[in-house]
Amino acid sequence: MDVRIDKTWKPYLTEEFKKPYFKELVGFVKREYKSQTVYPPPKEIFRAFEFAPFEEVKVVIIGQDPYHGIGQANGLCFSVADGVAMPPSLKNIFKEVEDDLGKKSPESGNLERWARQGVLLLNATLTVRAKSPGSHQNKGWEEFTDAVIKVLSEKRDGLVFMLWGAYAQKKGSMIDEEKHYILRSAHPSPFSAHNGFFGSSHFSKANKFLILNDKEPIDW
């Protein structure tokens, strides 16, 4: 099966696509799209990879599920399409950017502009049934995205990984901390942002690290 993913990633993930779990996952996802309302739209499932070619990734942000409301999920974690109201976690992300860097929150919650600068906005699970958070968990997506994180850790050097919340931190357990810069904090959700996400200064810390490693900083 030919997975629609950016060609720069295929040499690193082709073997993953051949594994039994991935074939089962593809079958499950196809059945779900035929029988249920599922997000994001099929052409946007691997969108995070389209904007961040393998050799151009500089920062990795790990989310959990795509948004499960109408028109929200667009294939990039924490991001929504232009014209869609910002979910609370995204509002808190922009609040921290403003507090950290003095940049005013944008009107749009579309993080495509981050992705185009080399920020891989990776959800652990790449699809979800409408109004049913977690509905596509434990079907194989997590194994696939673990493989993505592992290959980035092994084949690249000097990446920044932003791990927000216990889930992302557990997900990032295979990252080589001697090769990469790992930033950990509470999740930006309204339930936890005040427990360490606010004031974490992850955006300025990431840029300082990138500059020290002769890379262009991100225009957050």
- Would you please indicate which residues are annotated as catalytic (active-site) residues? 65
Q: In this structure, which amino acid lies at residue 103?
A: K
CA 120/CA 161 separation, integer angstroms: 10
Distances 23 to 20, 29, 149, 220 between C-alpha atoms, Å: 5, 10, 20, 37
Q: In this structure, which amino acid lies at residue 177?
A: E
Contact call for residues 123 and 146 (beta carbons, < 8 A): no
The first and second tokens of residue 60, run together, are: 């990795």
Provide the CA 80 distance to its chain's centre, in angstroms. Answer: 12
